[in-house]
Each structure stands twice: as C-alpha cells, then as structure tokens.
C-alpha cells in the first residue's frame, strides 16, 4: 500500500511525511519540485527508509505523474504542493498562477485518468485530499464570526486567489467527473521545519542574530495559529473517515495579533536564551504594511470536531514553546536552508 504526497519536502508536507511514517508502514511517494522552500534536510531521518520514495518533479508534469501513479498504484493522493507566501505572490504572481492553478488542473487530470482505470473496489476506496488555506475566505472584522465551511470565497491576494481557484477545480472534478475528493482549509501553521521567511521563524532567527524584528503596519493583524503536527493529525483523520466531496476547516482556536505573537517569542527567548544585556522585545521594529494586508483570519473548526472527532492537542502556549526550543536546537538545518538567495529576498522585502 502507498500514498502519493505532493510537496512533501515543504513545511507542512514534510511534517506530514515524518508523522505518517512514525505511525504507519504505508509507503509515502514524495513528489516535490524542490523550489526555494522545499528542503530534503527536513527528511534526513528518512534517507535510508524504504517506506519513503522521493521523486523530484512538478505536479504539472502530466507524463511524470501518470508514470508514478501507474508504477506505485497509490490508494490516495494528498496534495500539499503550492506556492504559499503572500509576500512573494505580490511581487511575482506568475509562479502562483502556474503552480496553484495550472499545476492543480494537470494533477487532477492525471489522477482522474488513473482513478478511472482502477477496479470498482479500488475506485471506491481511492481519495484525493487537497490541502488549502483559510485565506480563500478573505478577511474578517473584529466582531465577525470565524470562517465556516459555508463562507463565501473572497480572496484578496494573488496567493489566496490562486488557492481559491484550485479549490474550485477540485470541487468541479468531484461534481462533474465523480473524483472522490476531500478538501481542508487550514489557519496559519507554525512549528518545526518552517521556512524562515514566515513570521514566527523569521522573528526567532532575527532575534538571536541581534537583528530587527520586523512587524507589518501596527501589528494588530489577527491570525488563528495552528501547530503543524495538529494539522497533520487532522489531515490523517480527514483522509481516513472524511465524507467524499466535503470541505473541513482546520484551526487551532488560537487567535493572536502579530504583535502578541512576536512579544511571546521574545519572552520565551528571554527565558531560554537570555541576552547579555537588554531584552529581545527591544529589537521590535514596525515596517510599512504590505499591500492588501487582510486584517483578521479565524477558523471555526467545529464541523471537524463534531463529525470526525478531531480537535487540536496543542495550545498556542505549548506549541510556541516547542517551536522556539526546536529552532534553538537545530542550527544546522537553519544554516542549510538560509541560502544567499533567501538573504537577498529578506533585504528586498524588509530593507535589511
């Protein structure tokens, strides 16, 4: 038995592959393009594990995907592959359109061709799980109810628009062709192996390097924070017992402003790696807000708890402590991932 996991050298996909193989002998076929955020160092512990098969490639390569499906005969496809950084989508939206929309279309067509070829029994058991984001729903005001699965899509960035389009394609391939799909829309993830352009790892690494801690605008943007391993357990649950054609929102029930998140990290670093002089919060710097910055995201994850019995195990306090401790103890992974190209991006984005 095997599952095909796309984007499994990235942050969430990499954690998913590690967690899956920690509790299952079912082979993971890992298809990843290895763009800037893909990192095989994340999967170093699986290097000699026959249950993990890595193939460098693009979900948009129909010939390659068809070949993998025919060779390994997976019972499921879990699609993490995506361009996912809002800031990068504003600077260069083309890659997001190509991977998140065109790539998803090509992947769906390859999977549909494979699914049609299966026996009736295998066809009934097969699943295509598409991993998406809460950003497709747009933004919330302070008093609005959190996003539920019935919220209207109102994406506001090139990234979220491209993910919304991919969600619509997945839905259409189910309703038109009968492809047995599942969709999850998650809130902001954090945890081990997070590429350090995102807020939490960026702040941790800048803090211990003595650099400014950049916060967009007034820092009052609110996000619902989900520990990545909780997200992985939710995906496993949806894949196991989710109802075909349904969407499930995955959240951590942890709404925090960006400023609160940064201050919490600073307090933990003051405890775990105190400076010789002063406190880390003194490095906080407010920078010009990004274009079209959504004010608030929040996920209502009650459907997932009510229907499938899942809820997160980590509070923000426990998860963020584990995250800070992980970054403090994994300097080799950090130095390998922060290449010259990444440092140039930081300079461009934050005027470093």
Find the range with the poorest average confidence among 204-213, 298-307, 317-326, 333-342.
333-342
State the Cα–Cα distance between residues 209 and 84, nearest whole angstrom.
26
**Alpha carbon distance 162, 350 (integer Å):** 25
pLDDT of 284 higher than 90:
yes
Average pLDDT over residues 87-107: 95
Residue burial 198-223, b: 16+ Cβ < 10 Å; e: rest: bbbbbbbebbbeebebbbbeebebbb
H/E run at residue 244 = none
Determine the pLDDT at residue 49: 97
36 φ, ψ (degrees, to nearest 5): -55, -35
**Diameter over CA atoms, the chain:** 68
Average pLDDT of the segment spanning 210-219:
95
Q: How far apart are CA 350 and CA 216, in angstroms?
A: 10
The catalytic residue among 83, 87, 135, 255 is 135
Residue 192 reports pLDDT greater than 70 = yes
Kindly tell me if the per-residue pLDDT of 3 is higher than 80: yes
153 included as an active-site residue = no
Question: Residue ranges of the domains in the chain?
Answer: 2-190+227-251+296-312
Vertex 197: Cα angle to 195 and 201 (nearest 5): 65
Write down the catalytic residue from 83, 87, 134, 300.
Answer: 134
Mean pLDDT of the chain: 94
Position 341 scores a pLDDT of 54
* Alpha-carbon 281 to chain mean position: 28
Give the residue-averaged pLDDT of 100-127: 98
Active site residue 134: yes
109 is catalytic: no
For residue 108, what are the contacts with CB-CB under 8 A and spacing of at least 6? 128, 169, 170, 173, 179
Rounded CA separation 86/88 (Å)? 5
Q: Which of 159, 227, 248, 327 is catalytic?
A: 159
**What pTM, to 2 d.p., does this model score?**
0.94
Query: Per the CATH hierarchy, to which homologous superfamily does domain 2-190+227-251+296-312 belong?
Result: NAD(P)-binding Rossmann-like Domain (3.40.50.720)
Q: Which band of pLDDT confidence, cut at 50, 70 and 90, is reported for residue 282?
A: very high
Residue 35 pLDDT: 84
Among 149-153, 205-209, 250-254, 333-337, the range scoring the smallest mean pLDDT is: 333-337
Give the separation between CA 161 and CA 65, rounded to whole angstroms: 25
pLDDT in tens, 139-154: 999 999 999 999 999 9
Average pLDDT estimate for 187-210: 94
pLDDT at site 339: 63
């Amino acid at each position: 038995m095997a599952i095909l996991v796309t984007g499994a050298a990235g942050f969430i996909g990499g954690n998913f592959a590690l967690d899956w193989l920690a509790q299952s002998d079912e082979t993971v076929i890992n298809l990843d393009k290895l763009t800037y955020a893909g990192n095989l160092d994340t999967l170093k512990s699986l290097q000699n594990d026959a249950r993990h098969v890595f193939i460098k490639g693009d979900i948009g390569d129909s010939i390659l995907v068809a070949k993998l499906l025919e060779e390994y005969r997976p019972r499921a496809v879990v699609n993490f592959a995506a361009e996912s950084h809002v800031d990068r989508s504003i600077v260069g939206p083309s890659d997001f359109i190509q991977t998140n929309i065109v790539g998803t279309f090509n992947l769906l067509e390859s999977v549909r061709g494979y699914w049609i070829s299966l026996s009736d029994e295998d066809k009934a058991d097969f699943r295509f799980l598409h991993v998406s984001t809460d950003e497709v729903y747009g933004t919330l005001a302070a008093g609005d109810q959190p996003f539920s699965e019935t919220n209207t899509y109102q994406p506001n960035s090139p990234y979220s628009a491209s993910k919304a389009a991919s969600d619509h394609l997945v839905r259409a391939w189910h309703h038109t062709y009968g492809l047995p799909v599942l969709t999850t829309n998650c809130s902001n993830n954090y945890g081990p192996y997070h590429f350090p352009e995102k807020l939490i790892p960026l702040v941790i690494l800048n803090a211990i390097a003595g650099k400014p801690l950049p916060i967009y605008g007034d820092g009052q943007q609110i996000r619902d924070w989900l520990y990545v391993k909780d997200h992985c357990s939710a995906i496993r649950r949806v894949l196991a017992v989710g109802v075909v054609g349904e969407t499930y929102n995955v959240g951590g029930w942890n709404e925090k402003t960006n400023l609160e998140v940064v201050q919490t990290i600073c307090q933990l670093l003051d405890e775990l790696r105190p400076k010789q002089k002063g406190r880390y919060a003194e490095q906080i710097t407010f920078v010009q807000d990004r274009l079209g910055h959504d004010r608030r995201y929040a996920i209502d994850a009650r459907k997932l708890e009510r229907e499938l019995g899942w809820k997160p195990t980590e509070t923000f306090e426990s998860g963020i402590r584990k995250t800070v401790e992980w970054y403090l103890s994994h300097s080799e992974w950090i130095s390998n991932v922060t290449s010259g190209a990444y440092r140039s991006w930081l300079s461009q984005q934050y005027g470093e």
